[in-house]
Every structure is written in C-alpha cells, then in structure tokens.
C-alpha cells in the first residue's frame, strides 16, 4: 500500500480497533470501508473493489446476524484484508 492508500485507510483501521473493543459497530466499520474504497483509485487495485465488497458484507452481517455474532463475522469478512493492509 502506498502512502495515499495508508492515509485513506487509517480511519478504517482505527474503527476496526474500536470495533474489537466494543466501541464501534459493524455499520461503523462498513461505512469507513466504503469511504476508503471510494477514495482509492486504480493505482491501489484490487483494494478498492475488495473494500467495497467487504463494506457490503459487513452491512449485511450487521442486519442478518445476532449482535453476539458480529465480532466473528467482522473478523471473517474483514480480517484477511486488514492483515494485508497492515503489512
């Protein structure tokens, strides 16, 4: 990830940390994933598409699963992408 992508994804990474500590919801994380996706260009491909898809999946998980399942759903949906973004 280049510096531009890191700056755009920083709020998402911060929100993820808040989510893991119970201070944010899947919808919060979804919104920031979508914002990061919208701000990135093709120089960061395939990250914009992956973030867009993750945002939709996170929103769906928020409404389709019980609150107790949100952490595991979030980790399943966004965890692998976050690992790649942080490295």
The proportion of the chain whose per-residue pLDDT surpasses 70, expressed as a percent, equals: 100
**Residue 65 φ then ψ, to 5°:** -130, 160
Q: Does the predicted TM-score (pTM) go above 0.75?
A: yes
Residue closest to 52 by CA, chosen among 67, 34, 71? 34
Which residue intervals of the chain are DSSP H helices?
A: 3-20, 26-39, 47-64, 70-86
Indicate the DSSP class of residue 46: T
Domain chopping of the chain, boundaries: 3-86
84 pLDDT higher than 90: no
**Mean pLDDT calculated for residue range 57-83:** 97
């Amino acid at each position: 990830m280049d510096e531009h992508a890191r700056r755009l994804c920083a709020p998402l990474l911060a929100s993820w940390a808040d989510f893991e500590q119970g201070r944010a919801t899947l919808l919060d994380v979804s919104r920031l994933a979508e914002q990061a996706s919208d701000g990135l260009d093709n120089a960061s491909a395939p990250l914009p598409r992956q973030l867009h898809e993750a945002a939709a999946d996170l929103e769906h998980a928020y409404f389709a699963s019980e609150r107790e399942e949100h952490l595991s759903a979030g980790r399943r949906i966004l965890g692998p992408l976050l690992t790649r973004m942080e490295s």
